Chain A
Amino acid sequence: MAFAIVATFPFGTYRGHTGQGEVDLFPSQARLHAALLAAAGSGTRAETAGQSTLRPCPADTAALEWIEENPSDGMVMPTRAQSRTDATAYRNLGLLKPKRTGIKQIGKQDLAGVALGGSVCWVWETDPPPDVRQSLEALCPDVPYLGQADSPVRLRVERAALPRLSHRRNPGARLGSRRPGSLDLAVPRRGRTAALSQLHDLEASAKVPTVSADASKTDERELTPAVCSSSLGIERFQSVDAQPAEGPWEWCWVVPFEASARITREQAVAFSVAFRKTLISHFDGDAPSLLTGRYAEGVAKPSNRLAIQIVSASACTAEPIPTRQAFVVAVPRSADPADVAVIGEALMAAETIRALGRAVRLSVDADRSALVDAAAFWRPPEDGLYRTWSVLPAVVETRAQGHNWSLADAVTLSIGLVWKDQLDQDHWSTARGSERYRLVLAAARAAGVRVLSVHSLPVSQVERFVHKTPEGLAPLPYQASVELGELEGAGTAFAAIGQSRHLGGGLLVPNDVPEDVAESWRLGS
């Protein structure tokens, strides 16, 4: 018989923070375990261990150790909505030098939480041993809250009428198996109960401060409790209903060309701009917005437009490129078919692209009218290899986000903006400016986007990498290596990121590494 621990939050919200102070998006099994241990260690079932200390009874310790050995087989994660706020509550802090600075006030942003559309369940498909089950049945109602103390919970054991799983644990999960809706959640590993108990015992048995140590001081600081991070692991819970994510671009034309010399990375933007001009010239002033990027006032701009990139024959494209290099003209998802058709006609008519004093001749041998599936543009990674992505030739940062904005944030945001339509937009569709950027960034991270490395390029001629420079801002070209998480689970889609993604910049090129290497990057391994 299946067995579940069900958590119901009376306020309909879960409020917790991770070790870095960020909002915890999901109550993990590690947090559940810690809450059960706290109840076992000080609730009505606890045993007296000394004059002023309590400890869990042996039956409860065994039940908690059973959870260490048996992570749940699945979860029911209800509909969620994360709210973010920068609302800051101030409070007086002790006696910090009152004569010199007045009563010191500190601000705290602890109001954000996650709204839940139902109960959270951790489901085991087979019953635990009877004594474990009995302990958990008795312990659950003694857990007052999960997360912050202002996040009260009603916890109970359920054996019948279990809801359908939303996420199933994948015991063999590896980095490359991440799919849309996957949750990588912290779980207790063998020894977690003992480690937490030991830390608690250490604090509880600490010597009572002396009278002088307890004296009121004029410079007091809040001393936070120690955090135990040992014996924690990560388990991947994959969405039962997940569908493969749709890429930002749906189709592409691959147009090989002949040139006396290779178009270098630094020349890619210039030739792509020239290619677009050639296509635009075909329309005699009536080119579609999909191509020009100019939209009438009031018309909502799509996330992406027609992208023109240059790839080499040596790249691991699914279809071989007959010449040394080729232009790729990619059509974004949901483009108007009529626009695609007329751009296709312009493409067929184009012969030569001129830029930087050179000319390249587009191949007439290839069937330029054939549209290639952009979702299968790259060959899949070979067995044993894990796909990461390098950004070539470079991405250009053209935003001013203040001193807290890192290059890693910039590349994550760029990815999030490209995949904007595939991300959950409920919470940021109406946000604007830097607030919107922060929310897109969080959504991209939640989807598994990770920046593995990033560095700025020491170049003085940034115009090589950017086709339009915002007034008053110095563009910063950089290269990066990234994981796309569930945004591109298959690892085969054509995509480009950044300001010049539509014209020769920011192409995401596969960069495969041995899975063992990638696996070592995972937390908890």
Chain B
Amino acid sequence: MANLDFNLLLQATSAGGPSALSATTPLAPAAGPQAAIAPAKYASPRGDLGTYVYEVRFVDGEAVHTVLIDSAQSSRNRMEIALVQAIDDGNAVLGRLPRIRVTYERDGLVESYTDLELPHRAFDAHVRAGTVDGKPVTQHAAYRAARDSSPANAWDLLNLSPCSLALGSWDASRKARQGRWPSVVTGEIIGVLTDQGGATERSTPKKGGARVDPIGMSAQLDGATLEALAVQQEDELSAATFKKVVDGARKLKAGEKASASALGFGGIPPTLSQLGAVSCRAVTRTQVVSFASLRQIRFGKGPEGDAALRAVLAALALNGLTRSNAELYIRANCHLVEAGPTRMVIDQRGGSFEELEPSSIEQADALLDAAISHAAHVAGLDWHGQCFDVAGNPAVLAGAADETPED
């Protein structure tokens, strides 16, 4: 079985290359087949409890009920986190990646976010609202050039925010000439449900939570004591919670008492009030890297140069995929292990397929390194970890601070 080497990658990003590479991996609950796992939870307009995404899928020709454990968007976010961590750890190859970095200062502390973390990548509002050298980002020549990129020539965006090209981005609020870049990589994890009496939200098991207070299950305190405790804990409470407790305490008349549960005292009896975990008889992760998507992008460097630059993006996507696959942490109560080898196939024109050996992280790094070097040689790519530094807009920070989870 062959490895995905650079020559194959270059062929895939050139005219006449294959459509896509797909990787399928069987997974299983880490605790064994009897263990239930927590799927991705979504909001539901029908209630606060939320919901899971149930679907019918055909597996080996049989219609089965499945649940979405990890979505395409979430899968790409995992790739981005893996890339960020590698850069932070000083990875020499990924350290060459150009990126946009937005910095905020909050309470004397500096917070930075790159286009690998911001949801809309290069076109994220945090970037567009910021400034460079005191001037709005939207006036900066390099940013304007990247924003004006089109499929006919995406060179400027490639050198400012390659992740926006590899993982997708849409300049959705721009008046005209919006950049619309579909992701070249997508993936998901689905679980085939065991028989749970029908796969609907009605049959989703519930889970409960409880808090035991060894001193007493109900802490009823007078107003003065409540207020004193709240003042004592003010730094740990949100402004809204603090105000609510203090205002409530001051309204109490002499002899009246109120619950101190908001301050963490007293117990909470167990109730089944949250979506529980589900049991799956098979879990599958599927990922697709689309070379057809990449071939829709040019960089003004001619067929050879354009193919070389597409190969860089393909290698970047594969690198993120390989790194995120190496870490199987999905979320709490969703611990998975690989139950078999990854099957990776690339299609050849005419309906035939070639099976490939999945890459290790080291091989993925080597592939990206080769791609960058080749593109530097034939297309003049100059990646050396350049960061487009943006000062975050303080007004945005103030607005974000208005909304806290306790509210």
Interface assignment of B161: CB less than 8 Å from any CB of chain A: no
Given contacts A83-B56, A98-B395, A154-B19, contact A220 B44 (CB under 8 A): no
Interface assignment of B214: CB less than 8 Å from any CB of chain A: no
The minimal Cβ–Cβ distance linking A226 to chain B, given in whole angstroms, is 11
A421-433 contact mask (Cβ, 8 Å, vs B): 1 or 0: 0000011001110
The minimal Cβ–Cβ distance linking B284 to chain A, given in whole angstroms, is 10
Interface assignment of A87: CB less than 8 Å from any CB of chain B: yes
Given contacts A11-B288, A83-B56, contact A152 B63 (CB under 8 A): no
Cross-chain contact B186 with A216 (CB below 8 angstroms): no
Which of B55, B138, B398 lies in contact with A215, CB distance below 8 A?
B138
Residue of A nearest to B185 (CB): A152
Q: Which residues of A116-164 are within 8 A (CB) of B?
A: 116-118, 138, 141-145, 149-150, 152-156, 158
Looking at the complex, which of B3-11, B79-87, B144-152, B360-368 is the stretch in contact with chain A? B144-152
Interface assignment of B276: CB less than 8 Å from any CB of chain A: no
Given contacts A88-B44, A111-B71, A223-B173, contact A44 B290 (CB under 8 A): no
Which of A111, A142, A152, A426 lies in contact with B53, CB distance below 8 A?
A111
Interface assignment of A90: CB less than 8 Å from any CB of chain B: yes
Cross-chain contact B54 with A85 (CB below 8 angstroms): yes
Interface assignment of A115: CB less than 8 Å from any CB of chain B: yes
Interface assignment of B106: CB less than 8 Å from any CB of chain A: no
Q: Which residues of B contact A211 (CB under 8 A)?
A: 138-139, 144
B116-133 contact mask (Cβ, 8 Å, vs A): 1 or 0: 000100000100110000
Interface assignment of A10: CB less than 8 Å from any CB of chain B: yes
A33-68 contact mask (Cβ, 8 Å, vs B): 1 or 0: 000001100111100100111100000000000000
Interface assignment of B258: CB less than 8 Å from any CB of chain A: no
Cross-chain contact A12 with B58 (CB below 8 angstroms): yes
Cross-chain contact A206 with B177 (CB below 8 angstroms): yes
Cross-chain contact B172 with A222 (CB below 8 angstroms): yes
Q: Which residues of B contact A356 (CB under 8 A)?
A: none
Interface assignment of A380: CB less than 8 Å from any CB of chain B: no
Interface assignment of B269: CB less than 8 Å from any CB of chain A: no
Residue of B nearest to A44 (CB): B15
Q: Which residues of B93-149 are within 8 A (CB) of A?
A: 119, 125, 128-129, 136-139, 144, 147-148
Cross-chain contact B53 with A87 (CB below 8 angstroms): yes
Looking at the complex, which of A99-107, A265-273, A332-340, A407-415 is the stretch in contact with chain B? A99-107
Which of B51, B186, B398 lies in contact with A87, CB distance below 8 A?
B51
Q: Which residues of B contact A44 (CB under 8 A)?
A: 14-16, 295, 303
Cross-chain contact A88 with B43 (CB below 8 angstroms): yes
A432 to B202, CA, bound (A): 8
A52 to B202, CA, bound (A): 53
Given contacts A48-B152, A91-B119, A216-B136, contact A141 B186 (CB under 8 A): no
Interface assignment of B182: CB less than 8 Å from any CB of chain A: yes
Given contacts A54-B152, A141-B292, A152-B186, contact A214 B58 (CB under 8 A): no
Cross-chain contact A87 with B152 (CB below 8 angstroms): no
A266 to B328, CA, bound (A): 68
B287-310 contact mask (Cβ, 8 Å, vs A): 1 or 0: 010101101111000010000000
Which of A89, A208, A430, A432 lies in contact with B176, CB distance below 8 A?
A208
Q: Which residues of A contact B148 (CB under 8 A)?
A: 52, 208
Cross-chain contact B55 with A13 (CB below 8 angstroms): yes
Cross-chain contact B399 with A111 (CB below 8 angstroms): no
Q: Which residues of B contact A113 (CB under 8 A)?
A: 55
Cross-chain contact A216 with B138 (CB below 8 angstroms): yes
Q: Which residues of A contact B198 (CB under 8 A)?
A: 430
Given contacts A86-B51, A216-B125, contact A10 B144 (CB under 8 A): no
Given contacts A10-B22, A44-B15, A214-B144, contact A107 B43 (CB under 8 A): yes
The minimal Cβ–Cβ distance linking A434 to chain B, given in whole angstroms, is 9
Cross-chain contact B150 with A216 (CB below 8 angstroms): no
Residue of B nearest to A158 (CB): B351
Q: Which residues of A contact B53 (CB under 8 A)?
A: 85, 87, 111
Interface assignment of A403: CB less than 8 Å from any CB of chain B: no
Residue of A nearest to B294 (CB): A144
Cross-chain contact A54 with B151 (CB below 8 angstroms): yes
Residue of B nearest to A90 (CB): B43
Cross-chain contact A222 with B173 (CB below 8 angstroms): yes
Which of A45, A86, A153, A427 lies in contact with B45, CB distance below 8 A?
A86
Cross-chain contact B174 with A209 (CB below 8 angstroms): yes
A427 to B54, CA, bound (A): 11
Cross-chain contact B286 with A115 (CB below 8 angstroms): no
A453-465 contact mask (Cβ, 8 Å, vs B): 1 or 0: 0000000000000
Interface assignment of B259: CB less than 8 Å from any CB of chain A: no
Residue of A nearest to B21 (CB): A10
Q: Which residues of A contact B186 (CB under 8 A)?
A: 149-150, 152
Cross-chain contact B292 with A223 (CB below 8 angstroms): no
Given contacts A87-B44, A223-B174, A430-B200, contact A115 B58 (CB under 8 A): yes
Q: Which residues of A contact B203 (CB under 8 A)?
A: 430
Given contacts A152-B20, A154-B19, contact A213 B56 (CB under 8 A): no
A187 to B15, CA, bound (A): 29
Cross-chain contact A98 with B68 (CB below 8 angstroms): no
Interface assignment of A92: CB less than 8 Å from any CB of chain B: yes
Cross-chain contact A83 with B138 (CB below 8 angstroms): no
Q: Which residues of A189-208 are within 8 A (CB) of B?
A: 203-204, 206-208
A290 to B9, CA, bound (A): 68
The minimal Cβ–Cβ distance linking B137 to chain A, given in whole angstroms, is 8
Interface assignment of A79: CB less than 8 Å from any CB of chain B: yes
A427 to B290, CA, bound (A): 31
B39-79 contact mask (Cβ, 8 Å, vs A): 1 or 0: 00011111000011111111101010000100111000000
Interface assignment of B350: CB less than 8 Å from any CB of chain A: yes
Residue of A nearest to B298 (CB): A54
Cross-chain contact A214 with B398 (CB below 8 angstroms): no
Q: Which residues of B contact A38 (CB under 8 A)?
A: 296
Q: Which residues of A204-243 are within 8 A (CB) of B?
A: 204, 206-209, 211, 213-216, 220-225
A85 to B400, CA, bound (A): 30
The minimal Cβ–Cβ distance linking B248 to chain A, given in whole angstroms, is 24
Residue of B nearest to A218 (CB): B395
The minimal Cβ–Cβ distance linking A339 to chain B, given in whole angstroms, is 30
Q: Which residues of B172-205 are within 8 A (CB) of A?
A: 172-178, 180, 182-184, 186, 188, 197-200, 202-203
Residue of A nearest to B199 (CB): A430
Q: Which residues of B contact A209 (CB under 8 A)?
A: 174-177
Which of B68, B129, B178, B393 lies in contact with A111, CB distance below 8 A?
B68
Interface assignment of B235: CB less than 8 Å from any CB of chain A: no
The minimal Cβ–Cβ distance linking B79 to chain A, given in whole angstroms, is 14
Which of A39, A48, A88, A91 lies in contact with B296, CB distance below 8 A?
A39
Interface assignment of B222: CB less than 8 Å from any CB of chain A: no
A149 to B166, CA, bound (A): 13
B346-385 contact mask (Cβ, 8 Å, vs A): 1 or 0: 0101110000000000000000000000000000000000
Interface assignment of A288: CB less than 8 Å from any CB of chain B: no
Residue of A nearest to B15 (CB): A44
Interface assignment of A81: CB less than 8 Å from any CB of chain B: yes
Which of A53, A85, A98 lies in contact with B150, CB distance below 8 A?
A53
Which of B138, B288, B351 lies in contact with A10, CB distance below 8 A?
B288
A54 to B150, CA, bound (A): 10
Q: Which residues of A contact B51 (CB under 8 A)?
A: 85-87
Interface assignment of A316: CB less than 8 Å from any CB of chain B: no
The 5 closest A-B pairs by CB, nearest first: A98-B399, A87-B42, A430-B198, A44-B15, A102-B403
A sample of 9 more A-B contacts (CB under 8 A), given A39-B292, A85-B54, A224-B172, is A87-B52, A99-B398, A118-B58, A142-B295, A144-B292, A206-B176, A206-B177, A208-B177, A215-B139
Q: List 22 A-B contacts (CB under 8 A).
A: A10-B20, A11-B288, A81-B63, A85-B42, A86-B44, A87-B43, A89-B43, A94-B125, A95-B399, A98-B398, A102-B400, A102-B402, A103-B403, A142-B295, A144-B19, A144-B184, A145-B290, A203-B176, A204-B150, A216-B137, A430-B197, A435-B200
